[in-house]
């Protein structure tokens, strides 16, 4: 199995401009993510896909690899697909699995890559997986930046929402799960996926994975044993700084 | 009968709901709510048999008095669909299609019941069909009695929730939510399957029967109902249902459909 990790990153984010280069314990956030992902033993290659020269230059300066992609992409998976095709041409190889890792998960542990990919190595039917974390506080459950997920009894996602689901009014003890954006795709499926028509719930919820579900394709959710915290705002960054410092 | 498939309609009803103990027998425009439901159901072109299934003597007596066939069922069922299954078994279990037509939907006509049955008959691969209607986001947000549903591209239910779904991420409150109407035709084989399966996780949390199918990977097809309907969960709903029914009766020469 030839497995590649691609980390899409861009400076222009409406909620937090310049986020990938924002410093976390003195080092740009994208640097933390890159180095953590790269140390996974499963990967034959780790690449940052970006439309910003500053990110490209920074990754090269730390001895990493980056690919310049178009600045027209609206979705991270489109950027990944472009980077994948460029790399395959350049390296004259076809990868089997592409792990998309969002640049805003600086607490990504290298073993999380293995957790996410593992089910695909044993089950050829699985086209795409996501990692899934446990939500521990009501604040996080109600935070619209946190994407909640409910699964069927086999572990496939039923629905992703920014609304707090499931409903907690009837029962007190309810498992609350969140999406963690480490997303391995089978290579061919990634290329099929970016050609699928956009769907209503994908747009309303602003959740990329919904396009797959609405087209009736399964997304397998893998529970992670690691704690993570995605960075969406400056406050998140400060919080993650504390969390990382404690490790 | 529809294309050779026999159809049984079961109306499950019970007294003693926590919020509204005597709900099924409350009067709307001079008739018990349950009678409205039964009279609508017997208008169906496809139903071969229509019965009311209940654990309560009082309901048995009232319904037999207005001419309905009633099956006395256990008082330990936790889901309406389980009560429907017991009635289906007691009646010999020889139907091809069984409809769970809930006793708190007094405005769903025989015609809409038939539309739901037709949708099931056309789709062998779905386990069950439900009707749905649209509701404003603001109303959906506050009313946890109403079950919201989100659909995939083929109109199969992805999830049912008491919270408002989908999330209005961009704050557009003009958006509407789909709300479940509890008229649920299913294949008899799906009904058998339903009672064989253990209670599912979110089925319990959301208190929604259909999630047992969905969580087990079985398809529930949703069909839009464009007629005005009102499910009754509280006193306020009852008033609204009465208003709607009297308006329809006035405009329709004393008939609901």
Catalogue the E-assigned strands of chain B. Answer: 7-12, 27-28, 31-32, 49-54, 69-72, 97-101, 128-136, 148-151, 157-161, 176-181, 183-187, 220-224
Per-residue b or e along A177-194, where b marks 16 or more CB atoms closer than 10 Å to that residue's CB? bbbbbbbbbbbebbebbb
pLDDT in tens, chain B (257 residues): 999 999 999 999 999 766 788 889 999 999 999 999 999 999 999 999 999 999 999 999 999 999 999 999 999 898 999 999 999 999 999 999 999 999 999 999 999 999 999 999 999 999 999 999 998 887 777 788 899 999 999 999 999 999 888 887 666 666 789 999 999 999 999 999 999 999 999 999 999 999 999 999 999 999 999 998 999 988 889 999 999 999 988 888 777 76
Measured between alpha carbons, how far is B75 from B97 in angstroms, rounded to an integer?
24
Query: Residue A142: closest CA among chain B residues belongs to which residue?
Result: B167
Query: CB contact, 8 Å: A14 with chain B?
Result: no
Which residues in chain B touch residue A165, judged by CB atoms under 8 angstroms apart? 159, 161, 163, 165
Interface contact A158-B168, CB threshold 8 A? no
Task: Name residues whose C-beta falls within 8 Å of residue A140's C-beta, 6 or more positions apart in sequence.
Answer: A146, A178
ipTM computed for the complex: 0.89
In this complex, the residue of B152, B165, B200 whose CB is nearest that of residue A213 is B152
The pLDDT value given to residue A168: 77
In a mutational test of the A interface, the residue from B158, B170, B221 whose CB has the highest number of chain A CBs within 10 Å is B158
Task: Name residues whose C-beta falls within 8 Å of residue A37's C-beta, 6 or more positions apart in sequence.
Answer: A5, A7, A43, A46, A101, A108, A110, A113
Query: Residue A148: closest CA among chain B residues belongs to which residue?
Result: B167
**pLDDT tens digit string along A101-116?**
988 888 889 999 999 9
**Residue A170 pLDDT class (50, 70, 90 cuts):** low
Measured between alpha carbons, how far is B156 from B219 in angstroms, rounded to an integer?
6
The pLDDT value given to residue A21: 94
Of A130, A154, A155, A157, nearest to A230 by C-alpha is A130
**Residue A154 pLDDT class (50, 70, 90 cuts):** very high
Task: Tell the burial category of B174 from Cβ atoms under 10 Å away from its Cβ (0-12, 13-18, 19+).
Answer: exposed
Task: Name residues whose C-beta falls within 8 Å of residue A183's C-beta, 6 or more positions apart in sequence.
Answer: A99, A100, A101, A116, A128, A129, A130, A131, A209
Task: Name residues whose C-beta falls within 8 Å of residue B76's C-beta, 6 or more positions apart in sequence.
Answer: none
Query: CB contact, 8 Å: A155 with chain B?
Result: no
Query: CB contact, 8 Å: A196 with chain B?
Result: no
Interface contact A201-B201, CB threshold 8 A? no
In this complex, the residue of B154, B168, B205 whose CB is nearest that of residue A167 is B205
The pLDDT value given to residue B209: 96
Residues B233/B20, Cβ–Cβ less than 8 Å: yes
A247, pLDDT greater than 60: no
Task: Tell the burial category of A50 from Cβ atoms under 10 Å away from its Cβ (0-12, 13-18, 19+).
Answer: buried
Which residues in chain B touch residue A164, judged by CB atoms under 8 angstroms apart? 163
> The whole model's pTM is what?
0.91
Measured between alpha carbons, how far is B244 from B230 in angstroms, rounded to an integer?
8
Which residues in chain B touch residue A217, judged by CB atoms under 8 angstroms apart? none
Q: How many residues are there in chain A?
A: 247
In this complex, the residue of B153, B162, B214 whose CB is nearest that of residue A158 is B214
The pLDDT value given to residue B171: 61
**pLDDT tens digit string along A171-228?**
567 889 999 999 999 999 999 999 999 999 998 898 999 999 999 999 999 999 898 8
**pLDDT tens digit string along A40-69?**
999 999 999 999 999 999 999 999 999 999
Average the pLDDT over A31-35 and give the result.
Answer: 94
Cis omega (within 30 of 0) for bond into B166: yes
Residue A25: how many other CB atoms lie within 10 Å: 11
Q: How far is A84 from chain B (nearest CA, A)?
A: 28
In this complex, the residue of A162, A170, A199 whose CB is nearest that of residue B169 is A162
Measured between alpha carbons, how far is B187 from B171 in angstroms, rounded to an integer?
40
CA dihedral B197, B198, B201, B206 (to 10 degrees): 80
The pLDDT value given to residue B141: 77
End-to-end CA distance of chain A: 32
- Who has greater pLDDT, A243 or A86? A86
Measured between alpha carbons, how far is B146 from A207 in angstroms, rounded to an integer?
25
In a mutational test of the A interface, the residue from B19, B140, B160, B205 whose CB has the highest number of chain A CBs within 10 Å is B205
Measured between alpha carbons, how far is A55 from A11 in angstroms, rounded to an integer?
8
The pLDDT value given to residue A46: 97
Measured between alpha carbons, how far is B97 from A27 in angstroms, rounded to an integer?
64
The pLDDT value given to residue B142: 78
Assigned token pair, A138: 């009501």
Across A2-16, A17-31, B39-53, B243-257, the highest mean pLDDT is recorded for B39-53
Query: CB contact, 8 Å: A199 with chain B?
Result: yes
Measured between alpha carbons, how far is A111 from A36 in angstroms, rounded to an integer?
9
The pLDDT value given to residue A104: 85
């Amino acid at each position: 199995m030839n497995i590649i990790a691609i980390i899409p990153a861009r400076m222009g984010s409406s909620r937090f401009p310049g986020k990938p280069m924002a410093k976390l314990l003195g080092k740009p956030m994208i640097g933390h993510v890159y180095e953590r992902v790269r140390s996974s033993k499963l990967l034959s290659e780790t690449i940052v896909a970006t439309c910003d020269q500053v990110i490209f230059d920074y990754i090269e300066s730390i001895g990493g690899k980056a690919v310049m992609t178009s600045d027209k992409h609206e979705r991270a998976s489109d950027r990944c697909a472009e980077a994948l095709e460029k790399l395959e041409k350049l390296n004259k190889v076809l990868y089997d699995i592409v792990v998309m890792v969002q640049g805003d998960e600086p607490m990504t542990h290298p073993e999380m890559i293995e957790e996410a990919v593992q089910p695909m190595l044993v089950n050829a039917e699985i086209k795409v997986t996501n990692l899934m974390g446990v939500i521990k506080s009501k604040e996080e459950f109600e935070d619209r930046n946190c994407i909640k997920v409910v699964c069927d009894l086999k572990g496939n996602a039923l629905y992703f929402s920014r609304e707090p689901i499931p409903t907690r009014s009837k029962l007190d003890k309810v498992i609350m799960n969140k999406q963690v954006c480490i997303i391995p795709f089978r290579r061919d499926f990634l290329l099929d996926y970016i050609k699928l028509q956009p769907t209503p719930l994908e747009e309303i919820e602003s959740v990329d994975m919904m396009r797959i579900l609405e087209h009736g394709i399964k997304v397998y959710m893998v529970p992670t044993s690691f704690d993570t915290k995605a960075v969406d705002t400056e406050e998140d960054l400060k919080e993650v700084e504390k969390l990382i410092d404690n490790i | 009968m529809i294309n050779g498939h026999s159809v049984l309609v079961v109306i499950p009803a019970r007294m003693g709901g926590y919020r509204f103990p005597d709900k099924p027998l409350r009067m709307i425009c001079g008739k018990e709510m349950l009678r409205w439901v039964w009279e609508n159901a017997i208008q169906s072109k496809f139903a071969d048999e229509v019965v009311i299934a209940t654990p309560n003597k009082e309901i048995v007596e009232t319904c037999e008095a207005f001419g309905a066939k009633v099956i006395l069922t256990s008082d330990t069922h936790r889901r309406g669909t389980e009560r429907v299954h017991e009635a289906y078994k007691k009646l010999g279990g020889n139907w091809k299609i069984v409809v769970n037509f809930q006793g708190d939907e007094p405005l769903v006509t025989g015609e809409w019941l038939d539309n739901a049955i037709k949708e099931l008959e056309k789709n062998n691969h779905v386990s069950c069909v439900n009707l749905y209607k649209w509701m404003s986001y603001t109303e959906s947000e506050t009313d946890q009695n109403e079950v919201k549903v989100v659909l995939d591209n083929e109109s199969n239910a992805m999830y049912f929730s008491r919270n408002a779904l989908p999330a209005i991420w961009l704050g557009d409150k003009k958006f509407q939510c789909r709300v479940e109407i509890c008229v649920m035709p299913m294949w008899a084989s799906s009904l058998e399957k339903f009672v064989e399966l253990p209670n599912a996780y979110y089925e319990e949390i959301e208190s929604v029967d259909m999630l047992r199918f969905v969580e087990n990977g079985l398809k529930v097809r949703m069909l839009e109902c464009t007629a005005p309907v009102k499910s009754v969960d509280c006193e306020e709903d009852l008033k609204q249902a009465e208003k709607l029914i009297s308006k329809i009766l006035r405009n329709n020469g004393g008939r609901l459909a």
